[in-house]
Chain A
Amino acid sequence: MKIKKNFSPASLLAVSVLLLILILKTESASNSDGFLERHVNRKLFSTDSDAAYSGSEDSSAEVNSMMHDAHEPLQSHSECSNTSHGGSNRFPVATVNWQRVSNPYIIALWIIGAGMVKILFHLLHKVVSRVPESCVLICFGLIVGGIAYSINKNHRINELLFNPDTFFLFILPPIVMEAGYFMPKEPFLENLGTILTYAIIGTIFNALAIGGSLYGVYQAGWMPGLDEFGKLDILHCLLFGSIISAVDPVAVISVFEEIHVNTILYICVFGESLLNDGVAVVLFKVFEEYIKIGVCNIIAIDIAAAIASFFVVAFGGLFIGLIFGYVGSFITKFTVHNRIVEPTFVFILCYLSYLTAEIFHLSGIIAIVFAAFTMSSYVEHNISSKSHTTVKYGMKMLANIAETIIFMLLGISAVSDFWQYWNTGFVLWTLFFITIYRAIGVVVLTFMVNYVRLDKINKVDQFVMAYGGLRGGIAFSLVSLTSADHVPTIKTMICACIVAILFTSFVQGSTIRPIVELLKVKTADKHKISMFEDINLRLIDHLMAGIEDVTGHHGHHYWMAKLHELNTKYLAKIFTRDPYKSRNEELLETFHRINKRDAEEIVQEIEKGNSYGELAANGTFANLLMPLEMRKSYSQASFSNMIRQRGPSEACIDMHAFEAHDTDRNDATIHHLLEENMYKPRSRETTRYRRGNIDDDSERKKQETEIFLRHKLTLRRRPKHYKHKHNKHKSRTSSKTPSPLTAGSKNVLKPNNTASSLYNERARLLLAPSFSQPQMKDENKSTKPSSNEPDEGITFSVPTKKMCSKNGWNFVRDPLGFLSSFETLPEEPASDEEVEETGTTQVDSSVALDRELPWKRSNETEQAVCDPHNTAEPSKSYEPETSHSGQLWPCKSDTADKEDGEKANTGETPAKEMITINIHGVDEWDKMSEDRV
């Protein structure tokens, strides 16, 4: 086990257990007999339950008793002051007021404890990766509960956190809010009918069927011994049925997320389990009311009222949710200058929607789900990307904590005295019925739904749906909130509920994964959607809407089109700051995303240490060449070149230009861009939003060591005669090398030298040696270690200094551009050193920035980025070329003949006086690329 090897997890465990025991102790203060306990309780945590002290709790007594051990005299004084309390109170030097902070303090400790358990879980996860997180949390809760129980049978941890108020007002909202916010919009709306069918009809069916069957079985006398605990009423059964029919999203979703089941299955289960919580709560309240009224007193009007109230509650919640969602979207429209409050609005307005709905006894769950759902559509466009990250993280964090608390409490509550109310018959029947009715419900409803659906839900999906019906926190909360006054057999029900939760979580939860794999459930195609595919999909959407119009039957394409129209035409205009500029904003977003992805891929490849040879070896070479021009322009646009390109030329390819309005030609934006673009590949690991599953950063560590090594090497290899004020960023490329820019490229590609010479070996073999060798021969015989050929092969494409300095833009058109696109360098105009320096700094972001010491780093960056030279100069100095570079894209796109363009370019290159060897290389590459293509 990992823990044994590692000290820190063990200590973590110890600390968290200690913490929890501390909490326990705090809470276990009620009338204990043992002297020690009493002593401890009285002195340390003098709680209100201690009759002798509770009334006379004043601060000085507290502080003194706290200092009991250390300051004996003081204690006597405290005794004295205590007995004569109210009399001669001296001014206290320091006071302790535990009472005042006890509750929030304990809650805070709980959260910390929960967080630590999370950490623990991930350490454990390596060992027991098959077990869902919820199980581990429950187990941990069981352990703590066991300890608590053995210390004090009457600890009241549960009551503190697990009363109706805290649960419904604090623990539940974050969970559903998060779910609503991250609900995939389009699939949800497309499958809304199906989801609602499952959630509403399914839940009601389950509640009634389970309740009715339990009652039937009870009447038939197949639950021996239940009568000892109290009478079971039909309403009690129905209440229990409605409690136990709430399927918990948490457990299932985490499993589904991991396996990437297909969207339809995912969204159906997700949506269903989310909304059926709301339904179950409503049902629960209905039956609770009925029990209060009494089964004999219920008349038809009550039933009608219940049905009516059901709709009122559900649609009222929806309405309030939408209102708050839109209000939130609208408010965030005006937060340009107050970025910091943006997340607040999102969180608080969601929460307010919940509270507001609760005021009117509407479904808070539905309200908050839809508030978050609505907001997520618009807020994203309004708030800054950082705020958005905050919102996303905040949601995840809150939900995660709430979830952890629920599961742990569940475990703790499971160790309690209600097991003496155990009734085997009731428990087993419950298990039986929840399983069987879940299956029946799913099959029957799917049959109904499939009649309407075009893409039918198949048998396997149905099975997974039925099997994924795990019970969780909500059921347990509801059942433990029911008072024994109304339902005499509630303790038995709690037993049954806990067993059901444990059974479903452990048995089904841990087997669902193998089963999904075994049944070959269609998993979501995770392939990254290509530009053309996206265009096609949009086209098809419109086409289908059109066809539905022609046939005159308004199917879901029609409604989706309507919705889309409504959204872009009106809602988006009202609720987003800069309304969609086009009818198909998503298309542009896809384009933007693809741009970014290209760039990231390249950086990742490079950071991983893959050379081009490596890429070629992987067969991605063709791909590499394919989007060659795109890469050239896009990837670079995303890196250093973007800055330059955006400065002087309008031919900016990157969609940033599109999104960020025109005022972005200043340093701040450049800085922003840099930050956004340069750190991406490294921070990607940590910004993946999956609740409770953050990838380990071993990758990063590897990178860091790599960078460190590179740095070392760079230092070592830096030629003496190379003088540059920013020479930190320079590697050894020297005056001899045509362009100092190569330095950057070498930095970037340094992994070849250091991290794995294997790469080089392979790369060298695979990469056309013809151009790496000339390079070797000519250019770098002096400095390079032998394992550097791939680098050479790559750097060869760097144009001569002359060309670079004269016409950095032109070079982009060089067919070798795809090579340079990796280096990003050849296009760096070397006209003046500042500019080029900027380029270097920006290009090998990770290298240049990270190999610096942190404090220096920021400075360096700023210097590089904010130096007026860097930004102002380039634009000035390239002014003459602006027109030319402006043509860059149109040229490419309009000539519509890449071949020609390339040829022209190759023709051009010699004219530009490239080193002859380079020309060789060019031709070589050209041929190669053409062959490949």
Chain B
Amino acid sequence: MGSRASLHLQDDEITAIQQETGFLPNQIIRLFSRFTCLDKEQNGFLTRDDFSRIPEFAINPLAQRIVDTFFVESEDHLNFRQFMRTLAHFRPCTPKTPHEALNSRDNKLRFVFSMYDYDHDNKISKEELLQILKLLVGSNISKEQLSHIAERTLLESDKNNDRNITFDEFKTVMSRTEIDHKMSVRFLD
């Protein structure tokens, strides 16, 4: 599988991706084979359907949101480069990781933030929060309950009292959490 997959992957592409994302060539090749494996139509890009075919996504309440994070807005195709760029957020990071690297703490947090921030206005509104909560908690909880939780959340996090959670506020909330390894996946070599 790996050998066949690597056939499509040019060396210069690998180096380019490596530079951009920091993945090792072996990891890139492995992930590329995964990419082609997901790409059922063999057309070189992934669609949302491809993602939804991943069996485990059926039980993931946030599946849709996760898929959304892969796709740049209003685009239906995801090429390998974009695919890798998204995954690069989840490379393990150390305190030495440069700030601007994709897998830095900041960018990891930004990624989570963007999962909330559906309308890309750099703020989490109560509605956005509610949507995520609904996904997380399921439908058995009454709307009021969820609303209370959302309200509570907003109140405790919203420092500038604009009824929204900005990224800075978000960062403050998460400042004491060990995001670094919580949001890291071990990519096989």
Interface residue ranges, A against B (CB under 8 Å): 452, 454-455, 525, 527, 530-533, 535-540, 542-553, 555, 557-558, 561, 565, 581-584, 587-588, 591, 594, 626-630, 633-634, 650-651, 653, 658, 889-890, 892-894, 896-899, 933
Contacts and interface: CB of A to CB of B under 8 A. Distances in A.
B152 A591 contact: yes
Contact of A532 (B37, B163, B173): B173
A892 B151 contact: yes
Contacts of B174: 533, 536
Most B CB within 10 A of own CB, among A535, A545, A588, A650: A535
Interface in B109-168: 112, 115, 126, 129, 132-133, 136-138, 140-141, 144-145, 147-153, 155-159, 161, 163, 165
B87 A547 contact: yes
Nearest to B183: A540
A533 B173 contact: yes
Given A545-B60, A546-B63, A894-B147, A584 B126 contact: no
A450 to B, nearest CB: 12
A454 B144 contact: no
9 nearest A-B pairs in the assembled complex, by CB-CB distance: A455-B181, A546-B66, A581-B140, A893-B147, A582-B138, A549-B56, A582-B137, A583-B138, A542-B62
Given A546-B60, A555-B185, A629-B155, A527 B136 contact: no
Nearest to B55: A549
A103 B56 CA distance: 60
A469 B156 CA distance: 43
27 contacts: A454-B185, A530-B156, A532-B156, A532-B165, A532-B173, A537-B182, A540-B179, A544-B185, A547-B87, A551-B31, A552-B34, A553-B188, A561-B56, A565-B59, A582-B138, A626-B155, A626-B156, A627-B156, A628-B155, A630-B155, A633-B148, A634-B152, A653-B148, A658-B145, A890-B144, A890-B147, A893-B144
A546 B156 contact: no
Nearest to B124: A532
B178 interface: yes
A582 B138 CA distance: 5
A881 to B, nearest CB: 17
Given A532-B156, A582-B140, A630-B156, 19 more contacts: A452-B186, A454-B181, A533-B177, A536-B174, A539-B62, A540-B183, A542-B66, A545-B56, A550-B34, A552-B37, A555-B185, A565-B59, A582-B138, A582-B141, A587-B136, A587-B137, A588-B145, A591-B148, A898-B163
Given A548-B185, A889-B144, A889-B147, A627 B155 contact: yes
Nearest to A590: B149
A525 B176 CA distance: 8
Interface string B47-81: 00001001011011111001000100000000000
B184 interface: yes
Given A452-B186, A536-B174, A549 B141 contact: no
Contacts of B45: none
Contacts of B165: 532
B92 interface: yes
Given A454-B92, A892-B151, A535 B136 contact: yes
Nearest to B126: A896
A540 B112 contact: yes
Contacts of B132: 535, 539
B189 to A, nearest CB: 11
A536 B136 contact: no
B141 A588 contact: yes
A920 to B, nearest CB: 24
Contacts of A555: 185-186
A893 B156 CA distance: 14
Nearest to A533: B173
Contacts of B129: 535
Contacts of B157: 530, 532
A896 B188 CA distance: 46
A684 to B, nearest CB: 22
Contact of A651 (B144, B159, B176, B186): B144
